[in-house]
Structure 1
Amino acid sequence: MTLKTIYIARHGYRSNWLPPPHPKPVTGIDGDPPLAEHGLEQAQELAHYILSIQPQPSMIFSSPFYRCLQTATPIAQLLDCDIVLENGIGEWYKPDRPTIPKPADCQILSKWFPNLKDTWSPVHYPSTDGENEEQIMNRCKVFLSKFIPTFEEKYPEIETVLFVTHAATKIALGMSLLGFSNVRETIDDEDTRLRAGSCSLDEYQLDKEGKWEIVMNGNCEFLTEGEEMHWDFLNAHEAGSDADIKARDKRNSKKAEGDEEEYEDVYVTLDVPSNNFNTSTIPPTAKLQVSGLHTETPLFMVNNDVYQGDWKNLVGTEVAFTEDMEEKYKVSDRIQLHDVNPS
């Protein structure tokens, strides 16, 4: 038989998303926090929702991080199915991260998760040096190209599986299944993006032409609190990281002070074409207008000059400061500008 349905879920609400003190990682691995009590409740709600729908997954593949196994466990218990580890759907870490956590293996994790079985050998592993956006997309493409034929050969009787993973990987897996080339693209003409709230659920089905289509995007309707902690690649920080939580707290504080408009600070470097390296191309008083920043090729108008931009990954990082110079942020993206009508 052919694998026909893939569900992809993000893990539940993490304990380190709450104010300190935070519990120590059960595995003893830095960067492997357990779920908060709220996250455990979300996992139960997700499990009961999956129990109520068809088709139901016959097997669960989990990232080897503790929070994902905590999310997968109530599903496995309700469906009476096994969980296996797959490092190919593990967490995304940027290359500039000081330490890239190495997750525990099946022998260690099975002490806490009785539904975890050692019946599957991971088909792919993330880079131990971290990944940029292009690399996590490539990782997921390579993983799927290995996983699907290997799975179908080993389990020809199973048509539906569930991946329990992380926000960035959830998005990259979905974009890979849909045939897109990068993680920042929208999936339709209405600028729809893949949603990745905590314990959200996607569903992909194989159509008659052998192409994957999305029929459920970031579903959170079964969660008591609805969608929480959505993340996508327009966020300047790793999903759920301390920097991400700090930025969210800052936005929430501003909203509490009366600013109800939702926004996000994103820092990028703009490379403007110049024929003279001894003079400034853009004067400090120039007016900058931007259109389509969420697309692959945003448009920029600087005074009366129009440029088309291309997203690039920086080699290394740069630092941006807020206007008051009190905070600094790492910049890992660059937009190369090209004259639309060069003279």
Structure 2
Amino acid sequence: MSQIIWIARHANRLDFVNPDWFMTAEKPYDPPLSDDGMVQAKQLAKRLKGEKISQIFASPFLRTVQTANAVAEVLDLPIKLETGLSEWLNPEWMSEEPEKLSMIALAALFPRIDNGYTSHIAAQYPETHEKVRQRSGQTARCLAAECWPDDILLVAHGASVLGAAMGLVGDIAKTEVKATLCSLVKVVRQESEWLLELKGDISHLTTIEEVVRFV
């Protein structure tokens, strides 16, 4: 038997398109998708439409939930919010622990969120680079084992996409995976071995970023 773990980075975010948004935002560390990011999310959904994904797990940040929701609508699946897939809580990027929308607020906006799901892994501010890779890798292994042999989708951030991939295939992902915006990583389990089949595919996108930003 085999299992596929799909790992997607969220689509383009509003503060990448409009940096001034950060200055007046109520929750500056939790930006939504930009207009072109919404288009990218729909293109990701179209790419995954024919795949046999049975469960979707997403970081609880707004941009990842929006990206996951686009796929969930097409695949007619619920969304399970997993803190272990969260953004890298880097004190150099964030002056304090990022404030996000509450679970209640997210569930009101996105009815596909599974309110009965409980996260497996915590993300605690502040984090080192090593820490985010450790917890996202642990999350990927935990979810893969729990869902075996079903194929699943993880929607995360640049650093946690890389960490999740490293948690499955090891350090090879550190040099091979390119987690550009709305890119797709595919890891396949054949018996006890994990194989990296897609390393950050963006062939489903009509517009792509020129520089990879792990933000």
What is aligned with 1:48? 46
1:88 Cα deviation from its structure 2 partner? 0.3
Gaps of 5+ in 2: none
- State the SS of the aligned residue for 1:58: strand
What is aligned with 1:99? 96
Q: Which moved more, 1:219-228 or 1:116-125?
A: 219-228
Residue of 147, 161, 169 corresponding to 1:178 = 169
Matches for 1:1-343 after TM superposition, within 5 Å? 4-22=3-21, 28-52=26-50, 54=51, 56-96=52-92, 97-128=94-125, 130-149=126-145, 151-152=146-147, 159-180=150-171, 185-186=174-175, 193-208=176-191, 210-231=192-213, 239-240=214-215
Q: Is the 8 A contact 1:62 1:89 kept in 2?
A: yes
| Aligned residue type for 2:194 | W
What is the CA RMSD across the aligned residues, in angstroms? 2.3
Q: Which has the larger radius of gyration?
A: 1
Q: Which runs of 4+ in 1 moved over 4 A?
A: none
Q: Is the 8 A contact 2:179 2:200 kept in 1?
A: yes
Structure-1 separation of matches of 2:46 and 2:74: 8
Higher RCO structure, 1 or 2 (CA under 8 Å, sep 6+): 2
Gaps of 5+ in 1: 187-192, 232-238, 241-343
Structure-1 separation of matches of 2:106 and 2:130: 30
Q: Is the 8 A contact 1:6 1:160 kept in 2?
A: yes
- State the SS of the aligned residue for 2:105: helix
Q: Is the 8 A contact 2:43 2:205 kept in 1?
A: yes
Structure-2 separation of matches of 1:85 and 1:139: 15
Aligned residues: 213
1:227 Cα deviation from its structure 2 partner? 4.8
Q: Is the 8 A contact 1:106 1:117 kept in 2?
A: no
Gap change, CA 1:51 and 1:148, over 3 Å in 2: closer
1:72 Cα deviation from its structure 2 partner? 1.0
Gap change, CA 1:164 and 1:140, over 3 Å in 2: same
| Aligned residue type for 1:35 | L
Gap change, CA 1:226 and 1:20, over 3 Å in 2: closer
Gap change, CA 1:119 and 1:219, over 3 Å in 2: same
TM-score for both structures, normalised by structure 2 = 0.89
Greater per-residue helix proportion = 2
Tell me the percent identity: 29
